[in-house]
């Protein structure tokens, strides 16, 4: 008898030690999950910023291409206007030279020209006609010179306007090039940031995998250590409550998280809480809320060790994060039967029972059934 008690005492001590270690590992696991989540969010934000910068670069490149086309067109206009100005100045100069020659001729011959006109004229009318012709030629020279000078001024003004536009476009092109360089630098910096975040995320995920493997191994060791032990009341019926259900953790009615919306307690947890959490020490007995058939009793990811019981007519109760499970799938249980013990397996902040009620697959507030 004494030997049996000592064995039980040793088993309980081992279980408690393993439980403390599991809780410590769970804390580090949750912290690592949170870090991984933050890094992933930062990486996604950086990638989004990089995509935005890349879109800016594409827009700038398109603007530069359009501006280059305008500059080339303006260069052609400027070249044509320069050619036109050269030709206008040549024609102006030719007219000026011709006029100078005629003026010089008329000056050098002076009155002789008019005397010859007088002598050669048969009549006064003939004389007047010839004199008027000479005056007409002089006026024509002056008019033509004025016209050519006006053309030169007009072309010079047009050339100046085109040159101003050309220089303005050049400045705009320089501004686009500077903007392109600036955004390219930002893209390079963002790529470096993404690379660094990716490396940190890889390291964190690797650590997370190690911690998860270690947690699962610790839970297996804990289960192995207690595989031959059950509390004296395991499987016993303890019925309490006056509603449809008996309380799954009699004596531990403190609700650490209610049904419905809540703030996220840790990374990976839902803000839409589908059940109620009863805080209780690890190893506290968990009882079937009502009689029924065990649908499943196994480890299930974030839920940890989980038991699902069908009570008929679409009514189902679920018990998560169990430390030990004393029933198996297909087994019939009675209302108040000890089916498990409180633990902190899966995604958990500490020892507690997540108790959930589903009706035809839809979560309902468990408080309505007590």
If asked whether residues 198 and 287 sit together in one domain, one would say: no
Identify the CATH number of the domain in which residue 276 sits.
Answer: 2.70.70.10
Per-residue pLDDT tens over the stretch 152-206: 788 788 778 878 887 888 888 888 888 888 888 888 888 898 899 888 888 888 8
- Identify the residue with better confidence: 307 or 370: 307
Report pLDDT for 92. 66
Report pLDDT for 233. 42
User: Residue 248: phi, psi to the nearest 5?
Assistant: -70, -20
- pTM higher than the cut 0.85: no
222 domain-assigned = no
- Identify the residue with better confidence: 191 or 5: 191
306 domain-assigned = yes
Is the pLDDT confidence value at 47 over 60?
A: yes
Instruction: Please answer whether residues 283 and 262 qualify as being in contact, where contact means their C-beta atoms are separated by less than 8 angstroms.
Output: no
If asked whether residues 259 and 137 sit together in one domain, one would say: no
The percentage of the chain sitting over the pLDDT mark of 90, rounded to a whole number, equals 19
- Identify the residue with better confidence: 128 or 237: 128
2 domain-assigned = no
Report pLDDT for 98. 65
11 domain-assigned = no
265 domain-assigned = yes
| Tokens matching residue 59 | 């827009």
Per-residue pLDDT tens over the stretch 232-281: 444 444 444 446 788 999 887 778 888 887 675 555 556 678 899 998 88
If asked whether residues 153 and 275 sit together in one domain, one would say: no
Mean pLDDT, residues 315-330: 94
Three-state SS at 365: coil
If asked whether residues 179 and 260 sit together in one domain, one would say: no
110 domain-assigned = yes
Among 164, 189, 206, the domain-final residue is 206
DSSP label at 261?
E
What span, in angstroms and rounded, lies between the C-alpha atoms of 190 and 43? 10
Three-state SS at 234: coil
If asked whether residues 242 and 180 sit together in one domain, one would say: no
DSSP E strand stretches across the chain? 255-257, 260-261, 272-273, 276-279, 285-287, 292-299, 305-310, 315-325, 332-333, 338-342, 352-359, 362-364
6 domain-assigned = no
Structural domain boundaries enclosing 311:
231-369
Report pLDDT for 290. 93
Among 206, 221, 255, the domain-final residue is 206
Is the pLDDT confidence value at 6 over 70?
A: no
Report pLDDT for 343. 92
If asked whether residues 335 and 238 sit together in one domain, one would say: yes
Is the pLDDT confidence value at 12 over 50?
A: no
Q: Is 113 buried (19+), middle (13-18) or exposed (0-12) by CB count in 10 A?
A: middle
Residue 320: C-alpha distances to residues 66, 133, 184, 252, 274 (Å): 64, 122, 52, 16, 12
If asked whether residues 168 and 258 sit together in one domain, one would say: no
What span, in angstroms and rounded, lies between the C-alpha atoms of 222 and 16? 9
Instruction: Please answer whether residues 301 and 346 qualify as being in contact, where contact means their C-beta atoms are separated by less than 8 angstroms.
Output: yes
Query: Which stretch of 63-67, 76-80, 139-143 has the lowest confidence by average pLDDT?
Result: 139-143
What span, in angstroms and rounded, lies between the C-alpha atoms of 271 and 275? 11
Instruction: Please answer whether residues 317 and 225 qualify as being in contact, where contact means their C-beta atoms are separated by less than 8 angstroms.
Output: no
Identify the CATH number of the domain in which residue 98 sits.
Answer: 1.10.287
If asked whether residues 64 and 102 sit together in one domain, one would say: yes
- In the chain, how many domains are there? 2
If asked whether residues 295 and 340 sit together in one domain, one would say: yes
Spacing of C-alpha 78 from chain mean position: 47
What span, in angstroms and rounded, lies between the C-alpha atoms of 71 and 300? 68
User: Residue 246: phi, psi to the nearest 5?
Assistant: -90, 155
Mean pLDDT, residues 277-292: 91
If asked whether residues 253 and 187 sit together in one domain, one would say: no
What span, in angstroms and rounded, lies between the C-alpha atoms of 354 and 370? 15
Query: Which stretch of 11-25, 49-63, 70-84, 149-163 has the lowest confidence by average pLDDT?
Result: 11-25
Is the pLDDT confidence value at 333 over 90?
A: yes
Per-residue pLDDT tens over the stretch 68-85: 888 888 788 878 877 877
Report pLDDT for 323. 93
pLDDT-derived band at 328, boundaries 50, 70, 90:
very high
What span, in angstroms and rounded, lies between the C-alpha atoms of 290 and 334? 6
What span, in angstroms and rounded, lies between the C-alpha atoms of 302 and 346? 4
Instruction: Please answer whether residues 332 and 288 qualify as being in contact, where contact means their C-beta atoms are separated by less than 8 angstroms.
Output: no
Is the pLDDT confidence value at 148 over 80?
A: no
Spacing of C-alpha 289 from chain mean position: 46
Query: Which stretch of 242-256, 290-304, 312-326 has the lowest confidence by average pLDDT?
Result: 242-256
What span, in angstroms and rounded, lies between the C-alpha atoms of 310 and 308? 7
8 domain-assigned = no
If asked whether residues 83 and 199 sit together in one domain, one would say: yes
H helix or E strand, kind and range, residue 119: helix 2-120
What span, in angstroms and rounded, lies between the C-alpha atoms of 158 and 85? 9
What span, in angstroms and rounded, lies between the C-alpha atoms of 311 and 139? 122
Q: Is 107 buried (19+), middle (13-18) or exposed (0-12) by CB count in 10 A?
A: exposed
**Sequence-separated contacts (24+) of 47-51 with Cβ below 8 Å:** 47/194, 49/190, 50/187, 50/190, 50/191, 50/194
If asked whether residues 298 and 159 sit together in one domain, one would say: no
Is the pLDDT confidence value at 7 over 60?
A: no
Report pLDDT for 248. 93
Spacing of C-alpha 283 from chain mean position: 45
Instruction: Please answer whether residues 252 and 285 qualify as being in contact, where contact means their C-beta atoms are separated by less than 8 angstroms.
Output: no
Three-state SS at 297: strand
Percentages of the chain per state (helix, strand, coil), in multiples of 5: 60, 15, 20
Among 141, 171, 206, the domain-final residue is 206
């Amino acid at each position: 008898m004494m030997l049996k008690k000592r064995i039980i005492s040793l088993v309980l001590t081992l279980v408690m030690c393993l439980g403390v270690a599991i809780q410590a590992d769970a804390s580090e696991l949750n912290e690592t999950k949170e870090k991984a989540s933050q890094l992933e969010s930062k990486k996604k934000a950086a990638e989004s910023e990089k995509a935005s910068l890349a879109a800016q670069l594409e827009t700038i490149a398109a603007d530069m291409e359009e501006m280059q086309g305008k500059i080339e067109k303006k260069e052609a206009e400027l070249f044509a206007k320069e050619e036109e100005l050269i030709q206008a100045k040549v024609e102006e100069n030719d007219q000026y030279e011709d006029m100078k020659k005629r003026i010089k001729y008329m000056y050098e011959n002076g009155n002789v020209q008019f005397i010859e006109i007088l002598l050669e004229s048969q009549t006064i009318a003939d004389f007047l006609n010839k004199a008027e012709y000479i005056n007409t030629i002089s006026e024509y020279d002056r008019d033509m010179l004025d016209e050519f000078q006006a053309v030169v001024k007009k072309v010079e003004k047009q050339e100046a306007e085109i040159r101003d536009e050309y220089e303005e476009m050049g400045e705009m092109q320089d501004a686009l090039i500077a903007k392109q360089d600036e955004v390219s630098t930002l893209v390079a910096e963002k790529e470096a940031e993404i690379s660094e975040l990716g490396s940190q995320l890889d390291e964190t995920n690797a650590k997370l995998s190690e911690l998860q493997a270690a947690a699962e191994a610790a839970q297996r060791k804990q289960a192995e250590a207690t595989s031959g032990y059950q509390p004296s009341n395991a499987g016993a019926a303890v019925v309490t409550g006056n509603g449809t259900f008996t309380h799954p953790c009699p004596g531990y009615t403190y609700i650490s998280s209610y049904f419905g919306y809540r703030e996220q307690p840790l990374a990976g947890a839902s803000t839409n809480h589908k059940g109620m959490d009863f805080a209780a020490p690890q190893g506290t007995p968990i009882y079937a809320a009502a009689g029924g058939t065990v649908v499943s009793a196994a480890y299930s990811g974030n839920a940890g060790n989980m038991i699902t019981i069908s009570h008929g007519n679409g009514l189902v109760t679920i018990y998560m994060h169990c430390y030990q499970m004393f029933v198996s799938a297909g087994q019939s249980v009675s209302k108040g039967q000890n089916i498990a013990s409180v633990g902190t397996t899966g995604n958990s902040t500490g020892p507690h029972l997540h108790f959930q009620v589903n009706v035809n697959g839809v979560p309902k507030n468990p408080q309505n059934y007590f």
